Structure 1
Amino acid sequence: MATANNALLLMLVAASGFFDLKERKIPNKITFTGILIGLIFNLITGGWLGLFQGVVGMFVGLAIFFLPFVMGGMGAGDVKLMGAIGALMGWKFSVMTALYSAIVGGVMVVIHLAYTGKLRETLKKMLYALINLLLQFFIRLGYSETVYKAHEKFSKNGQDYKKIYIPYGVAIAGGAVLVLIAYKQGFPIF
């Protein structure tokens, strides 16, 4: 990986993470500029093949978080940020960034829950929801009054689960940095 690529990536994710943390939004001027710079950079360094790889990376990056965005799990800025990362670094890097971002995001949620004192309560509700899914499976296999009553109990106990919002641009930034570190340590991206 070229040093210029890495420097551009670090500037992109640092700016995105900063704005997402501060304003809970990643501005279009950052993500669209990132996409444009990524495509131009790949055209200059790799010709038409480089541009093609940047376009593929952009679409893969956009596709990775499109479904979570449609389901309300993340903002459009997060999706566009992944598109910019893919345009600059390629599709393999964007896939690995998404995986590492999930780990960073999970750690951020656990820290947030521990800090707010809601970790135990949330884990309990998650357990109820998991048991509820298992009971639903057993009900579909064959109706049983005992299983149905247990299902009702666990459904009521897990209903008041509230979404936890974190600035996922920070998680994406952390994931991208971890991918760079892993690559520098000799771990292949794919």
Structure 2
Amino acid sequence: MLIIILGLVILISLITDLKDKKILNIVTFPAMIFGLSYYLFNQGWDGLLFSGLGFLVGLMVFLIPYLLGGMGAGDVKLMAAIGALTGASFVFYSALITSIIGGFIAIVLIIKRRGITFSIKSLFFSIPFLSSNLGSMIVNSKDNSSISFPYGIAIFFGTIITFAWKGL
């Protein structure tokens, strides 16, 4: 039952994120409530603790990137819902794999948009000069517009890979 709910939640979230660039509360909040209730009724207080800890880990892993403007609140709520459905260990590994996938997608998009030469300059000049203006003067010679993508893609595949690897 949980596998079906998890699959539906991440699939619907993927579709809405691709289509409208939104992960809907009408999907994430019921998933959170279902996860917490399911574990409470089936495993008692230990189950609620299991699901609640998963919820908190899922919420916290992407909270800082959200607060820094790197992702939307829907992404954070989706990870919290995944945590409530799967527990802390699963959502932690899922977040790690999701971050790797998201980083890979971001690198591909940066290279595609700004070119390989600019990307290599960014890698070699911005890291040593992160705290100075010299790095940004060298790197920002082109358009400084941001690159974004629906992070639901990374969350979907990160969760699927974690499920295939660890199970539920």
Once the two structures are superposed, residues 104-141 of structure 1 have per-residue CA deviations (whole angstroms, 9 ceiling, x without a partner) of: 112222333454463442332232111313xx5xxxxx
How far has the Cα of 1:153 moved from its partner? 4.6
CA pair 109-62 structure 1, distance change in 2 beyond 3 A: same
CA pair 88-48 structure 1, distance change in 2 beyond 3 A: same
Q: TM-score, normalised by structure 2?
A: 0.88
How far has the Cα of 1:60 moved from its partner? 1.3
Instruction: Write the letter of the residue equivalent to 1:9.
Output: L
2:151 is aligned with 1:168: yes
Give the gaps of 5 or more residues in structure 1. Answer: 137-150
Give the gaps of 5 or more residues in structure 2. Answer: none
Query: What is the aligned partner in structure 2 of residue 125 from structure 1?
Result: 122
Contact 1:100–1:175 under 8 Å retained in 2? yes
2:74 is aligned with 1:77: yes
Q: Which runs of 4+ in 1 moved over 4 A?
A: none
Which of the residues 84, 87, 103 maps onto 1:90?
87
Number of matched residues? Answer: 166
Contact 2:28–2:81 under 8 Å retained in 1? yes
Identity %: 34
Query: What is the aligned partner in structure 1 of residue 140 from structure 2?
Result: 159
For the residue of structure 2 that corresponds to 1:176, the secondary structure is helix
Higher alpha-carbon deviation: 115-124 or 161-170 = 115-124
Instruction: Write the letter of the residue equivalent to 2:75.
Output: D
2:48 is aligned with 1:51: yes
Query: What is the aligned partner in structure 2 of residue 148 from structure 1?
Result: none
Which of the residues 108, 113, 130 maps onto 1:111?
108
CA distance in 2, matches of 1:115, 1:44: 49
For the residue of structure 2 that corresponds to 1:26, the secondary structure is coil
Query: What is the aligned partner in structure 1 of residue 21 from structure 2?
Result: 24
Instruction: Write the letter of the residue equivalent to 2:129.
Output: N
CA distance in 2, matches of 1:172, 1:152: 34
Instruction: Write the letter of the residue equivalent to 2:74.
Output: G
How far has the Cα of 1:45 moved from its partner? 2.4
Which of the residues 34, 37, 43 maps onto 2:34?
37
CA pair 152-68 structure 1, distance change in 2 beyond 3 A: closer
Higher alpha-carbon deviation: 160-169 or 29-38 = 160-169
